[in-house]
Structure 1
């Protein structure tokens, strides 16, 4: 029927027509989920395997960090290993299938939360999810069975409730994310700097409680992690092209980590200060979408290890660019994330340093752009619906009534 397939689903005595068209995002999303499902049945993702083995080894003392899991060292916190334990309770194939489908669901949730935070009602969430799944950081996350999309969803869910001034236990999601992987901890600091003290305290207490659970479950491994492993970047290949951090770029440029002196500590300190000041300014003006975008980018350029799949934290910046009418910049940044030139362009190009560090260059450029672009003061209101549509700048959105903060 002209490109439209009609399915009939019987519910009781009713027959409901369900239209699936290639013009509808549901059609493409269904196809993508089918691809992920088949992939999960036949491929054992590397990082997922490490998570699963780490969950099994969490009670084996320091073996969690001294013994390789699936050929690589486990680098997450003891609490993260404890969180991965249930993965080993389920047979391998069903376990990884559930993990991958849950990743897609978490990504859909993250997209929804970010669109609500940016008040981009003119964008269909389905198309955003479909397009996002085609970006290298997202599909690479699925290929490896990585956890970053779950952490992104936890942070965005919390930040949207902070922006709306509503919700019991706001900050718990950020605290859990930071306890699993330390880089989301930047959002705890952001909450505090933005004056959201209760949410910041909740996130910090949650982080401490989760970390405490890790200590109770694996005291030896916890002692080793917090005294040594936490500071040790030599356990991973910092020079690998996937590491799109300033540290990784310098290691490649200078020919080894031993050539990067202690002076480098100034670099993440300056970037962290810049990012927090900018994110705080945006949050205090009510623009939490820009604040979380800056926070995500800052976490990437501050960390010594930012693998290409970690750059899912850059995706909120694309939403903010679209919201602010910077469509060409958003398209260019999206093209970089889709093409990921550092993987396939030759290393002997005249602009090798640019292509080899494509994500890093893009991230620094976006941080600079978000810093010099005008604040949306008086144009950004707390997220409480009044149902009125207003025209603002280059986009339409709902008008929200102010409400006390968290």
Structure 2
């Protein structure tokens, strides 16, 4: 039985471990943290990633534990729609929809599917030899036929494999995330664009609302009180944004600068090592595809693993590089601050949405109209191209 070592126990690493194990690999997933990701945030899983999870028999479980995004769109700070779409239109176009859920819940589902004996927590990787497949850890070396590097945006493995590559760059945008208990009516999914600022809201299961916000800021800038910083920027925007910010626990607000890979890697593999997820193609969150592309990577890698890893690069590099570019294009649009430019941007979006009600969905065709390269085990769709 061939063996694989996966570095990183995030969404991509866990999914890769499951996919490889189900194709006959002996898998060990190494995670340096003592516990799996319990960060107080949510995430969206779109139709393309749900299809990938269907191939692992996990799609329906994720649907059960999540909430449909429903009607969604882009608003102005006063609450007026610029563009929007509905659950029905999305399902009709893509055969599935977008669901939102706690990141921690997804991690639990994936860890359970992987199995405790395949996961080693509290294990720090100190080096990788791509020629021999040796993974060095503080507890000793591991030899693998395949090493999957899913070690995140600031991947040490990526830097070692491609030392001449400049790596991720700062987008100019910082991001906040938070969860707020909700006992009232469900909020609608909105993403509100202002002058250089964005605020997104999604209702999750378990009576929680997930919010995220972005603003222009110098790299590594931090506020003494992040909630007050958010209220200064967004406190005058439409409901329920001010109410959410007043209700959130300041100690549970997460803040991270947003980085992306401006220049694609020359390949997503070297020797016996394959890069996956944020280690391979970090992107801004503007298309909601970070976790989704990691899930796609995992099922495609499992399909080609055992042969030449060039097949993995061929299947994934061009697609992911394109999505990184498109996501950054949207990010640049949200960074607009000049009043005249913002008015022009908003007018263009509003007119386009009125003239073509499906424009918002059609703009996602190349991203969401993807099907995995293996038959769906849950029977939710045909096998298709990578």
How does the TM-score come out when normalised to structure 2? 0.30
Q: TM-score, normalised by structure 1?
A: 0.29
Larger Rg: 1
Q: Which one scores higher on RCO, CA 8 angstroms, separation ≥ 6?
A: 2
Q: Which has the larger share of helix?
A: 1
Looking at secondary structure, tell me which structure has more strand per residue. Answer: 2
